[in-house]
Amino acid sequence: MGRLILVVLGKQGAGKGTQCKRLAERYSIPHVSTGDMLRAAVKAGTPVGRDVAAVLEAGELVSDDLVNRLVEERFAQSDAAAGALLDGFPRTFAQAEALETILGEDGVKLCVNLDVPVELVAQRLSARRVCVECGAIYTDTDPEAVSGRCSVCGGSVVQRADDRPEAIRSRLEAYERDTAPLLDFYRDRDLLVSVDGARAPDEVTAAIVAVIDERFAS
């Protein structure tokens, strides 16, 4: 099978982070999240991180070029030698094409699309609460969300600004405009598999694992 490189696509709130963490553990490959990489690079003060920090401090969007550099830097790390699960990248055609260049002959082995109705992801996002310290995710009815204190690290649990109604609409519009076309990009390469992401997390994981194991049984 070689290097197992999987792209996970889906609307915000489709459950990509949850599934990537589970799959990363099962297949012993890192969960590569663009957001996590941006924060880590800034915190570490790497050359790319300093460039990212300057962009963010100016209130601007991080360019494709900077994100591509971060991804290339991430794939050079030893823990990605066996592969990786990509969450939040690529988001655009330009990033998908850059990823092909970065990976070379290794290439993406499979693109899993978590298919969830707009109404459900909007509901999930509006109910989501996040620890500002460790990133643990809760719903608004969980004790941690009610108390405002994370049970994992003790950090503050809040509703992120981009999980409020106006921001959710904007994010979903951006997904349909910029990222949804990537489904055709990977379908044309016979790499796309869609999974019903509206089911219980355990059922979604089982469906994805079945596809991966069937394709790469050898």
Active site residues: 16, 91, 128, 160, 171
Contact criterion met (CB below 8 Å) for 92 and 178: yes
Count other C-beta atoms under 10 Å from residue 134's C-beta.
Answer: 11
The tokens 């460790």 sit on which residue?
A: 134
111 - beta bridge partners? 7, 192
- Strands (E) in 82-152, as ranges, are 83-87, 110-115, 128-131, 137-139
What is the per-residue DSSP string for 8-34? EEE-TTSSHHHHHHHHHHHHT--EEEH
Q: Nearest Cα to 195, choosing from 182, 204, 206? A: 204
DSSP 145: H
